[in-house]
A and B are shown apart, each in its own frame.
Chain A
Amino acid sequence: MSEYLIRKAKPSDIPFLADVVIASEKAMSDRLSFTTLFNKPEEEVKQLIIQMFEEEVDGCELSLSSFIVTEFEGQPISGSGAWIEGFNGNMPSGILKSNLISYTFGKESIEYLKTKSHIVKDVMIDREPMTLQLEYFHIKNEHLGKGLDDLLMKRIEENALAEYPELKKVQCQIFKNSVFSIKILLRHGFRIVGSYKSDNDDIFDYLPFNVKLLMEKEF
């Protein structure tokens, strides 16, 4: 394990973090909501995600400050995002993310979203204020099964508790088809506390699955 260096993300990691976001969003499928809901090709989406990270807005899943990165032989091999919802008077992360998308993607994409938003609304889950929110957790395939997920989860929790010792719980929203990620979370003491299903079959054309789970762990 000593060959792994876990550290806070820095601006030079942003292109890698864009890959982390894309891989995590796909969640064992080929559907990327940033492309399907906003009518953009994946290559352009990656550049837009980079732009959103470069804005350095704190307090949401597209904040550079939310991420830690693992380096192996000088290269980033994992990225993990987590933030305390509404901490330090921040707006709800959903609003911050929406502001970033509205500003970055442009009016045509939002117009397209208007025609699709009804399809995905049933799997939208509110985030609970002052809880640690875990979003985007990706380790390159060749480094799976080496216990890195344990180290990362521990580091994420330590960082959050150092920032806010009164923190009561950590939550994660995850599509039900992400079976390996769910197993990891269960192994780390998470439990499933909610299930949000869409009965609109069109959802499979836009999102990885039609059921999203809310998982949490109390400290």
Chain B
Amino acid sequence: MQKEEIVNRLTPVFRKVFSDNSLVVTDELSALDVENWDSLSHMLLISEVETEFAIKFKLKDLNKMANVGDMIEIIRSKFQ
């Protein structure tokens, strides 16, 4: 799966979870940048992303996701 497709599918997920229709998904985006990205919304985000891509993250994958770029790479690896 190409990065562009992943970003295009992640964008509505992020906008829905964080209730922000102007949110732009970039590699550098992290919990530090989004006001509503707390421990509760993080769980909802992971669940929504897993549903969107029909995947299940491993715990070690989750703990490597320091930003969205890391998440994209892990999603890509699931489809290789």
Contact = CB atoms under 8 A, between A and B. Distances in A.
Interface stretch (B5-13, B20-28, B34-42, B72-80): B34-42
Contact of B62 (A92, A99, A107, A120): A99
A98 interface: yes
A94 B39 contact: yes
A100 B59 contact: yes
A117 B42 CA distance: 11
B59 A98 contact: no
A96 interface: yes
A124 B62 contact: no
A48 interface: no
Contact of A95 (B31, B51, B58, B59): B31
State the main secondary structure of chain A at its contact with B.
Answer: helix
Interface string B36-67: 00111111101100110000011100110010
Interface string A93-127: 01111111111000100110110010011001010
Nearest to B46: A102
B31 A92 contact: yes
Given A100-B59, A107-B50, A95 B40 contact: no
A166 interface: no
A117 to B, nearest CB: 5
B63 A91 contact: yes
A183 B31 CA distance: 34
A55 interface: yes
B66 A91 contact: yes
For the complex of A and B, the 10 pairs showing the least CB-CB separation, nearest first, are: A94-B39, A99-B62, A110-B47, A98-B42, A103-B59, A102-B46, A98-B39, A98-B43, A117-B40, A102-B43
Given A57-B59, A91-B66, A117-B44, 7 more contacts: A55-B59, A91-B63, A99-B46, A102-B46, A107-B50, A110-B44, A113-B40
30 contacts: A57-B63, A91-B63, A94-B42, A95-B31, A95-B39, A95-B42, A96-B63, A97-B39, A98-B39, A98-B43, A98-B46, A99-B42, A99-B46, A99-B62, A100-B59, A101-B43, A102-B43, A102-B46, A102-B47, A102-B62, A103-B57, A103-B58, A103-B59, A107-B47, A107-B51, A110-B44, A114-B44, A120-B40, A121-B38, A124-B38
